[in-house]
Amino acid sequence: MTPLVKVCGLTLPEQAAALDEMGLDLLGFIFAAKSPRLVTPEQAAAMPFSRARRVGVFVEQSAEEVRRIMDLARLDLAQLHGGQDQEFCRKVGPQRVIRAFWPQRFADRGELEAELAQYADSCAYFLLDSGTSGGGHGRGLDFAGLAGLNSPRPWLLAGGLGPDNLAEATCLATPDGFDLNSGVESSPGVKDLEKIKMSLQLIKNTKSS
């Protein structure tokens, strides 16, 4: 199957509409206070959409605040990027949660897989990002080190992904999806649509070859 593709950090309505027309699976809006890609719930709600599911990225909010923003912004999924525990995920709704993990926190892959297993019944998807916390680092992970990952939920790969490294990531890491952000931007919050088109083509061609 073709991997899911999410473009995160959207701030411009015309770009959200263009990406929806391209066939993106997930469109992401960031509600982390320190992010240069921060939008309000009202701005996210006004973004045009049709087929793509809408994802909110949350770091410091309570579960109640996440649910409130999801309603205001008309979101389908919450991407929890602040190390939230299983109970937090359940309060948001397991079927609505993408929970971020950072492989570089763990001594080996076995520890990472054990942590993923603990969240199997409290999340719909996992997202693996570079660094040891937060997001937006713009750095890649060890793709080969994630090959054949034993994950109880579909997982998305994040971290500086774009036309320069997506073919390698698709071949080596074999994730269920990709989360694109800084690697397909011209400036924070402003996407380079040509880079996104190239990225989609690379993923499709590499997966089918």
Active-site residue identified among 8, 20, 89, 179: 8
Rg of the Cα trace of the chain? 16
89 as an active site residue: the answer is: no
Handedness of CA 99, 104, 105, 111 (dihedral sign): positive
What are the structure tokens assigned to 69, written together? Answer: 């923003």
- Using CA atoms, how far residue 105 sits from 59, 119, 143, in Å, is 18, 16, 16
Q: Determine the residue type at 105.
A: R
Distance CA 22, CA 16 (A): 10
Residue 115's CB: how many other CB atoms inside 10 A? 15
129 as an active site residue: the answer is: yes
Tell me the CB-side half-sphere exposure of residue 50, using CA atoms within 13 A: 7
CA nearest 80: which of 100, 101, 60, 94? 100
Distance CA 164, CA 86 (A): 35
Q: Strand locations in 43-138, DSSP E?
A: 53-58, 77-80, 97-101, 125-128
Active-site residue identified among 20, 89, 123, 129: 129
Distance CA 12, CA 64 (A): 27
Catalytic residue numbers read 8, 129
